[in-house]
Amino acid sequence: MTAPDRESALLDRMRTHLSTPGAAPTYVRLQEAVQGALSAGVLRPGDALPTVRAVASALKLAPNTVAKAYAALARQGLTENRAGAGTSVAAGAWAGQLGQQEALRAFRALVQELRAAGLKLDDARRVLDELEGEPEATRALSV
């Protein structure tokens, strides 16, 4: 896929993601669109993201909204911002997304197996809460 095709595909994803009703702020929805493009393989390490101005203009958004989304992606380690070179997908972003997807698939499969064996979702939630370190869940858990 050529750079202009990638940019067009990403802008289409952003436009679609923003047109879907949701309660999340616009900058979060932009982040999610970029994360989705990473997961789908539309974006790969080293690929340049459209400039903040280009996204803001194409989607009729305030530049600060797009800049906030790009900054959040950089904090997550998914993109790198270089003065004069723009924003690009970080080297480890794609592998990390694929690893997370595989882990979630395995987790879903395990939960389905446990449900088939009689585990109640409330019990599973308590275990997850315990792993998150919530004291209330730890007291309630008696496994």
- Residue 86 in tokens: 């723009």
Do residues 106 and 81 share a domain? Answer: no
Q: How many CB atoms lie within 10 A of CB 57?
A: 13
- Return the axis-axis angle of helices 52-59 and 3-19, rounded to nearest 10°: 50
Do residues 99 and 37 share a domain? Answer: no
Do residues 111 and 62 share a domain? Answer: no
Span 5-31, average pLDDT? 87
Whole-number Å distance between alpha carbons of 24 and 29: 6
Instruction: Please give the tally of structural domains in the chain.
Output: 2
CA 30 to chain centre: 9
For 41, the domain range is 3-91
Do residues 131 and 77 share a domain? Answer: no
The pLDDT tens digits of the residues spanning 21-78 come to 878 899 999 999 998 888 777 888 888 999 999 999 999 999 999 999 999 999 988 8
Do residues 49 and 119 share a domain? Answer: no
Do residues 27 and 70 share a domain? Answer: yes
Q: 94 with 79: CB under 8 angstroms?
A: no
